[in-house]
């Protein structure tokens, strides 16, 4: 199975800061990574697919990059509504796996 | 507006069975693959199972293979998850999720329901 790791596991940043979350796959998975945002008590929200394509309606301060085994989610200017846990997910091969999540809050 | 409403969760004893349902509306259900994803208390997201739009192909996580069966009824716009031989580590909030596409099991989950809670305990 393909294992996905994320770092950091949690972070605290100020409003307006640039935030970067990394995700690493245990083997090469081309560009087959999605990113999701999950707030407590809410349904997860789809942010990015194919590693770097922004889902319709997602604010442009979110961006994704990477290919192969290393991927990044960037929030260019952190906003209070961005407090959430962020998950990467690979869809290169069964079973499809999520990373353990990165919790983001406001300092 | 896309809506996914899960039902069928509850408290069940270890070893028993349960069937979850997900009623879909706001899109052409039969055109899209569908998936189940779960979140155990205090844990992260885990993909459980997926099914292509025409039910022609299904996939399962190793942890549920042989115990869970995913199915769909495109005439009723409903997704199902039949769960057998339930264990304590199946305790989780189970989400139904719509895929962006139809022909691949590879999940890109653009809409999610609010989830239904399954608790496995004696």
Q: What is the pLDDT of residue B114?
A: 97
pLDDT band at B106 (very low <50, low <70, confident <90, very high): confident
Alpha-carbon distance of B26 to A86, in angstroms, equals: 27
Residues of A with CB under 8 A from a CB of B: 1, 32, 34, 36, 38, 42-46, 49, 55, 85, 87, 89, 91-92, 94-101
Query: Closest residue of B to A101, CA-based?
Result: B44
Give the mean model confidence (pLDDT) for residues B100-114. 89
Q: What is the pLDDT of residue B103?
A: 75
Provide φ and ψ at A67, rounded to 5°.
-165, 165
Alpha-carbon distance of A105 to B29, in angstroms, equals: 36
Check CB contact under 8 Å for B44 and A100.
yes
- Using alpha carbons, select from B111, B108, B114 the residue that is nearest to residue B1: B111
Q: Is the Cβ–Cβ distance between B22 and B34 less than 8 Å?
A: yes
Q: What is the pLDDT of residue B105?
A: 82
> What does each C-alpha distance from B10 to A28, B52, B83 come to in angstroms?
40, 27, 12
Instruction: Give the tens place of pLDDT for each residue, A4-58.
Output: 999 999 999 999 999 999 999 999 999 999 999 999 999 999 999 999 999 999 9
Please report, to the nearest 10 degrees, the dihedral formed by the alpha carbons of residues B71, B62, A35, B80 taken in order: 20
pLDDT band at B102 (very low <50, low <70, confident <90, very high): confident
């Amino acid at each position: 199975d393909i294992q996905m790791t994320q770092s950091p596991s949690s972070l605290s940043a100020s409003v307006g800061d640039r935030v970067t979350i990394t995700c690493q796959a245990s083997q090469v998975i081309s560009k087959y990574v999605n990113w999701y945002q999950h707030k407590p008590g809410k349904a997860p929200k789809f942010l990015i697919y194919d590693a770097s394509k922004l889902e319709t309606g997602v604010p442009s301060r979110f961006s994704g990059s990477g290919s192969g085994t290393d991927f990044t989610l960037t929030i260019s200017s952190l906003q209070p509504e961005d407090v959430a846990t962020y998950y990467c997910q690979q869809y290169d091969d069964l079973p499809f796996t999520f990373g353990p999540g990165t919790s983001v809050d406001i300092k | 507006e896309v809506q996914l409403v899960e039902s069928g969760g509850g408290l069940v004893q270890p070893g028993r069975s349960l069937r979850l349902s997900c009623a879909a509306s706001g899109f052409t259900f039969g055109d899209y693959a569908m998936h189940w994803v779960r979140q155990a208390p205090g844990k992260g997201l885990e993909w459980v199972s997926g099914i292509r739009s025409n039910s022609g192909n299904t996939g399962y996580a190793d942890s549920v293979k042989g115990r869970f069966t995913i199915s769909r009824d495109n005439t009723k716009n409903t997704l199902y998850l039949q769960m057998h031989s339930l264990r304590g580590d199946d305790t989780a909030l189970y989400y139904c999720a719509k895929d962006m596409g139809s022909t691949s099991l590879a999940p890109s989950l653009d809409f999610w329901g609010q989830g239904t809670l399954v608790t496995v305990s004696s």
